[in-house]
């Protein structure tokens, strides 16, 4: 049986990165890393036992930026988020 490459369903090409970041919500700060990123989303790696809210601010020092983020999916230590606007960094 012939093997075919998996069909890419993503609308945006992901750039593989490794950036430290912080999830900020309700006064709580949670460390994470950004594993891939594009203009409208990112994949984060977070400790499996962390309770991540559906919406949060994602601070990425390497970008000198904070993004408003919405969780789209979760798998073990991976969290996919939509980045729907930039927020001023405090």
Question: What are the tens digits of pLDDT across the range 36-84?
Answer: 998 889 999 999 999 999 999 999 999 899 999 999 999 999 999 999 8
**DSSP helix/strand/coil, 53:** coil
CA dist 67 and 85 (Å) reads 6
**DSSP helix/strand/coil, 32:** strand
**What's 5's DSSP letter?**
P
pLDDT of residue 3: 58
Question: Quick one: average pLDDT of 19-41?
Answer: 94
pLDDT of residue 8: 46
User: pTM of the full predicted structure?
Assistant: 0.78
pLDDT at 18 over 60: yes
Domains of the chain and CATH, by start: 15-82 (2.40.10)
Question: Which of the two residues, 80 and 10, has the higher pLDDT score?
Answer: 80
């Amino acid at each position: 049986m012939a093997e075919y490459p998996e069909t890419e369903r993503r609308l945006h090409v992901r750039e593989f990165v490794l950036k430290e970041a912080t999830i900020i919500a309700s006064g709580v700060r949670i460390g994470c890393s950004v594993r891939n990123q594009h203009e409208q989303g990112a994949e984060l790696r977070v400790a499996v036992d962390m309770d991540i809210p559906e919406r949060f601010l994602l601070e990425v020092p390497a970008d000198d930026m904070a993004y408003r983020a919405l969780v789209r999916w979760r798998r073990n230590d991976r969290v996919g988020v939509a980045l729907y606007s930039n927020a001023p960094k405090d």
